[in-house]
Chain A
Amino acid sequence: MKTALARLGLLAALVLAWEGAARAGSPLLYVPPSSALPALRDLLLLRSYPDLPSHLLLTVREIAIAYALSVGAGLAVGFALGLYRTVGRAYGPILAALYAVPSVVWYPSLMLFFGLDAASKIAFGFLLGFFPITLAVLAGIRQVNPQLVTVARAFGARPLTIFLKVLVPGMLFTLVGGLRTGLALSVIGVIVGEVLGSKAGMGALINHAYGLLRTADYVALVVLTLAVIAASDVAASLLERRAQRWTE
């Protein structure tokens, strides 16, 4: 209770400090909450950007496709590397080395190859989401007690049964954690791609507002984008909690 009050107090103090500091500075650079809120209202009422819904929808669609691809490929590669020892030992280190490269290095090549439209954003979101999912599968497989697999095999379980009844439940917690991280990174990938160069989507609108020094609109767009991201993360955390309860 006391902590909650202190949090609220801190939040209020931060908002007030921002308001005070922003009013003292140039309105082109600093946006106080008192002008961010009207800008947000205008944005939501489609006054400042009448075609907002189509841009928002495009971003959400790019994220959905990128994430679906990274889940599919991440699970496939993760299980291939984790279940076949030689494959894992040969290609695991190569994958780990690629993971040490700052991901944005790949973006110019993707933009050259896929162009400025949605495909390059989907490709980048896919690339970012793919690694944590693959790595989570690998970590999860290592967690499963090998004796369980031996016992199941001794009782005549088929490979598919072992996979579904022993392996997946044993690693579910780690797997779901990786899926959640993958979603967060797919989202970041798509948005980074849009901000670095695009013709449509939330990133393009953000760049437009920033480029024209419509700073209040820029802040409103950022707040809206953050709300979408937060919603996706809340949904993912609910699923995670569900999986957690199931494994206990």
Chain B
Amino acid sequence: MKAGTPRIVLIQVVSLGLALVTWEGLARAGWVDPLFVPAPSAVARSFGSMAGLALGGLADTLGKTAVAYVLAVVLGVAAGVAIGSARALNDVLHPFVVALYGIPKILVLPWIVLLLGYGTAPAVAYGALHGFFPVMVIVIGAVRDVDRTLITVARAFGARPWQLYLKVVLPAIVPSVIAAMRLGLVFCLLGVLVVEMFAGIRGMGYVMSSLANAFRAPELFAATGLVSIASIAIVLALDALNERLSRWR
């Protein structure tokens, strides 16, 4: 996201403000049922009463996401490099990769919960599974796109296989790996939240679905806002890091 000109920023601020004011007005005038759509002021007030619960849940969720994310990136990049650099392997596995990448993972979630029970383990496993495939698919594509002449030249100059990977292939795929890491993070967080909603005993997904079941709309909206802000902040931080890295390269 680029920072806009002052005029653009003004439009953004004014329209967000207008939206909030309209929403508050509608809620106060009784046009929307506050049981389902609470006024922004009520949401803001509920922040105070549920901050402890929500921040604890968020910390729990982000901890699980971090473990799942490390698993997804490490395994995804390793599998992507392995499959991408062996042509025959890639040809044989291609339909399997496409099929596994494409199927909605939610269908295997009940089975994962049967195997691993409730709590942290299924959230980490499902989050990692969710993030693994997009990372792997992007890395396979990146490895296949590495300039063939670079590899031929390196081989001609007597590079050993490990040198070929370390000095030619890995540097060439860094931009794609970073793009994959950005995407993978959102996928892992999504996976962890889904498990927490489906079979959680802790974490933000569990907090949110319990709030929804208890019809505590203001707290639910506050929690939703909190997770959204957290994930936008994480993605923006990754983007900033990415920009710095690309300038450095």
Contacts and interface: CB of A to CB of B under 8 A. Distances in A.
Interface stretch (B8-16, B45-53, B138-146, B157-165): B8-16
- Of B106, B212, B232, most buried by chain A (CB within 10 Å of CB) is B106
A106 B205 CA distance: 11
A113 interface: yes
- Of B108, B232, B236, most buried by chain A (CB within 10 Å of CB) is B232
Interface in A159-217: 184, 187-188, 191-192, 195-197, 206-207, 210, 213, 215
B156 interface: no
A222 B107 CA distance: 6
A197 B205 CA distance: 14
Interface string B214-240: 010100110010011001100110000
Contacts of B107: 191, 195, 206, 222, 225-226
> Is chain B's binding surface mostly helix, strand, loop or mixed?
helix
A47 interface: no
B27 to A, nearest CB: 13
A191 B198 contact: no
Contact of B109 (A113, A195, A197): A195
Nearest to A213: B114
Q: How large is the interface on A (under 10, 10 to 19, 20 to 34, 35 or more residues)?
A: 35 or more
- Of B11, B111, B211, B215, most buried by chain A (CB within 10 Å of CB) is B111
Q: How large is the interface on B (under 10, 10 to 19, 20 to 34, 35 or more residues)?
A: 35 or more
A225 B93 CA distance: 23
Interface stretch (A92-100, A133-141, A143-151): A92-100
Nearest to A105: B227
Contacts of B190: 102-104
Interface string B161-200: 0000000000000000000000000100110011001100
Nearest to A215: B114
B12 A94 contact: yes
Given A108-B209, A112-B36, A192-B194, A3 B91 contact: yes
Contacts of B4: 89-90, 93
A188 B197 contact: no
A3 B107 CA distance: 29
A7 B95 contact: yes
A195 B227 contact: no
A86 interface: yes
A90 B228 CA distance: 20
B104 A187 contact: yes
A184 B227 contact: no
Interface in A1-41: 3, 6-7, 10, 28-29
B123 interface: no
B211 A195 contact: no
Given A6-B92, A93-B1, A102 B231 contact: yes
A124 B212 CA distance: 15
A213 B114 CA distance: 9
Contacts of B236: 100
B212 A111 contact: yes
A102 B196 CA distance: 13
Contacts of A184: 102
Given A7-B95, A7-B96, A192-B194, 14 more contacts: A3-B88, A29-B114, A100-B235, A101-B232, A104-B193, A104-B205, A105-B231, A108-B224, A109-B220, A111-B212, A112-B217, A112-B220, A192-B106, A195-B106
Interface of A: 3, 6-7, 10, 28-29, 86, 89-91, 93-94, 96-98, 100-109, 111-113, 184, 187-188, 191-192, 195-197, 206-207, 210, 213, 215, 218, 222, 225-226, 229, 233
When A and B form their complex, which 6 residue pairs have the shortest distance between CB atoms, in order from nearest?
A102-B190, A108-B212, A210-B110, A100-B235, A90-B11, A108-B208
